[in-house]
A and B are shown apart, each in its own frame.
Chain A
Amino acid sequence: MDTDFLEISNGQALSREQIPHLTFDDFQKNAMKIVWGGGKIVQYFGYADNSIVKLMAVLRTDKLLVAGCDAPDEYPSFSNKCEPFQLFEREIAEQFGIVPKYHPWLKMVRYHPNSQGKKDVFGNDYTEDIPGNYPYYSVEGDEIHEVAVGPVHAGIIEPGHFRFNCIGERVLHLEIQLGYQHRGIENLILKADSKRLPIIIEGIAGDTTVANGVSFAQAVEALTSIQTDQGSRIIRIIGLELERIANHVGDLGALSGDVAFLPPANYCGRMRGDFLNMSLLICGNRMGKGLVRPGGVRFSIDDEISRELMRRINELEPQVEHVIDLIFSTSSVRARFEDCGIVSTSDANHLGLVGPAGRACGLPYDARRTFATEYYPGIDIPENAKTTGDVYARAKMRAEEILQSISIIKSLLKDTIETNCVDSEVFNLPSSSFVVTVNEAWRGELSHCIITDAEGKILRYKIKDPSFHNWNGLAMSLRNTEISDFPLNNKSYNLSYCGFDL
């Protein structure tokens, strides 16, 4: 593609001078051209460099493309002509007070004041409680009613607010407003001691601990030219795939429970725990906290642990297969899963859905295939894609990925894994550098980006959780769906609140 953006590879360290710094107009023109041509947004964010606010975009085709520019105080919104930018522009408006004029949906993202002390774009007074000045989309008419749910939900689940506009049982529109989980992570990283960073990173989203840990470690390794050994690359993949299996198995059980088919709900609940206990066996923490650090991993998989893992997996595999078969061969389950919460391929493409949610709509993108890192280049990941975009497709996608991940882990455990464990090494980042990493977390594309200043201090740490793309997919699924099918659709995505809110 003819573009002023620079083609880079995943996890490639660059000096900041290498990144094209375009005029704002050229930046906008090029970015929109790439996205109109089928490109997707991996990262698009602001950062303050000596009190000058700048913008940086990382886009993807089958390659990664990067460019930056100075940010004007206000500019005609990209979203007006190119929808995929909408949430990114809102985030930039909230974090840096840059106004995207004519933005069709200019609402706050997480509810906090901007970092530049500029006039608030949304007219909020932050001494007031969330949601502040937040005009919900509302449908008018005699028989329309609104249902407001959250932030505190009925189960053991993270907080968020859901506003349904309904006619009878039918949902016309669902608006999801988050921000309740906002912990100020991106700013905390800038002032925290470097010894704290891995712990903060692993707290971005506890169910995605390993993927976040790997994304961070890869970024630091690229910047400092630290090499990891093959054993640690294999252990990272085992960690990532265990995380994927545990979450998918748990969600299949929850889906089954939501359509009142209780046996698999209990079986999956138990088996999910068995997979988490494999992470516990490896690193002493069920969520994989403490496993990955820049330079490698903190825990080895010696022959004894490897044999024990293999034994447990061999015992579980048929049970998992049989429960999956039970779920999908039960007609009452299929009757509820099929045609429920459909998102079309074209809508999914516009929204930029990623991960199993995107693959369920016919978008085969999987970062493990396209931007393979660690030991993934040595593994054959099948191209997964369904086309029906309903709960059934999302559930089936997850079921297939569970079985694929089990076979990946089994193949990796066949040979002895040798690695030199690292601990919390002190690392000094090079000055004026840039790196972006992309990994396939269990929910989809996860990306971390580091920019350093002239002293090698972190100037900007940007995190993009896959849920940043996918929450709108859930809202789209609910259109013309019965409100009673919300829990089912919600679990078919099971998106991250804290990963989004940061």
Chain B
Amino acid sequence: MLNTLKNRFEQGYRTSTYPKKTVELVPRYRGRPQVHKNAPSDLVVKCAAACPQDAIDIDRKLINMGRCVFCGICERISEGRFISFTRDFGYSVAEKDHLLTDGEIPSLADHARQHFKKLFGRSLQLRQVSAAGCNACEADLNVLATPFFDLARFGINFVASPRHSDGIVVTGPISRNMKTALLQTYEAVPDPKVVIAVGSCSISGGPFRGSPEITEGLDSLLPVDLYIPGCPSHPMANLHAFLKFFK
């Protein structure tokens, strides 16, 4: 008993004050990409050629956050003159078109489905479906239940049954072998329901695009309400998106 109390005292209080006070991430964290439009074209071409995800639109000088895995190669090559990654984790979007960006992300709160705020703003139960996810996005969603993030304080919980949930959070590139299970889980959620795509895999197939075993984009199967890019998306990006979209 004494040992239990000693540990409790040593661990202290760890829950963040976010969103009252924002959280500063470390300098090397790569969040929202910022495109610098005045970059010379040859530099843009060079970045596009090196991009492992082919996420750069050369003509329009834009980056597709749905494909991007935030590896930062374009930033290195252009020395930040074409693309630089900011420490801003508030880059999630409600419309697929907004994923293709120059870095100016439309306000998520304004583009959120307003009736969802009314329906789920005070209580939101989500069912997570890993559809061939590599366990990185899953881990960074799971972590929202730990003391620092403490998702439950916002009335948001991950639940065990789709029957008890208001929507699904999908990770992974939706393998052929998980497609039916995913669609059945979606069917089992009562209306009205939310669909959230987390990670570049679920948004675009991510690193696995081109494989016949996967689906390139959850939106080809289900109507997606919220896109949270990343590989994986940082837990703060997830938390930010949930709060802006539903609160």
Contact = CB atoms under 8 A, between A and B. Distances in A.
A267 to B, nearest CB: 5
B193 to A, nearest CB: 16
B43 interface: no
Nearest to B51: A195
A334 B216 CA distance: 47
Interface in B1-19: 3-4, 6-8, 10-11, 14
Contact of B52 (A199, A205, A498): A199
Interface stretch (A32-40, A136-144, A155-163): A155-163
A188 B211 contact: yes
B45 interface: no
Interface string A274-294: 001100111111110110000
Given A180-B177, A498-B133, A156 B10 contact: no
Contacts of A276: 143
Contact of A184 (B3, B134, B178, B211): B211
Interface string A329-342: 11000000000000
A207 B140 CA distance: 11
A423 B25 contact: no
A154 interface: yes
B107 interface: no
A281 B25 CA distance: 9
Nearest to B169: A156
Contact of A199 (B53, B76, B139, B214): B53
Interface stretch (A4-12, A319-327, A401-409, A430-438): A319-327
A373 interface: no
A497 to B, nearest CB: 8
B178 A284 contact: no
B146 A266 contact: yes
B14 A155 contact: no
B210 A206 contact: no
A298 B6 CA distance: 41
A299 interface: yes
Interface in B146-166: 146-148, 158, 160-161
Contact of B234 (A180, A286, A330, A501): A286
Interface string B51-75: 1110000000000000001111100
B67 to A, nearest CB: 11
A329 B28 CA distance: 40
Interface string B198-233: 000100001110111110000000000000000110
Contacts of B160: 154-155
B130 A191 contact: no
B243 interface: no
B130 A158 contact: yes
Contact of B232 (A264, A270, A287, A498): A287
Interface string B118-134: 00000000001111111
A39 B147 CA distance: 46
A268 to B, nearest CB: 9
A443 B160 CA distance: 27
A192 B130 CA distance: 24
Contacts of A319: 10-11
B32 interface: no
A306 to B, nearest CB: 14
Contact of B139 (A180, A204, A206, A423): A206
A284 B210 contact: no
A181 B175 contact: yes
Most chain A CB neighbours (cut-off 10 Å) among B70, B76, B146: B146
A278 to B, nearest CB: 10
A263 B4 contact: yes
Contact of B177 (A111, A206, A323): A111
Contacts of B213: 112, 182-184
A186 to B, nearest CB: 10
Contact of B73 (A129, A130, A204, A424): A424
B181 interface: yes
B3 A183 contact: no
Nearest to A187: B211
Interface string A479-502: 000000000000000001110010
A318 B75 CA distance: 39
B135 interface: yes
B241 to A, nearest CB: 16
Contacts of A158: 130, 133, 135, 138
A130 B177 contact: yes
A266 B28 contact: no
Contacts of A206: 133-139, 232
A358 to B, nearest CB: 21
A183 B136 contact: no
A270 B207 contact: no
A181 B132 contact: yes
10 contacts: A159-B130, A181-B175, A183-B214, A188-B211, A196-B52, A267-B11, A270-B14, A290-B72, A319-B11, A330-B4
* The 5 nearest A-B residue pairs measured at CB: A206-B136, A184-B213, A269-B146, A284-B28, A206-B134
Interface of B: 3-4, 6-8, 10-11, 14, 25-26, 28-30, 50-53, 69-73, 76-77, 128-143, 145-148, 158, 160-161, 172-173, 175-178, 180-181, 185, 201, 206-208, 210-214, 231-232, 234-235
Given A157-B138, A158-B135, A277-B26, 10 more contacts: A154-B161, A181-B177, A183-B208, A184-B213, A196-B52, A200-B207, A206-B232, A323-B11, A325-B3, A498-B135
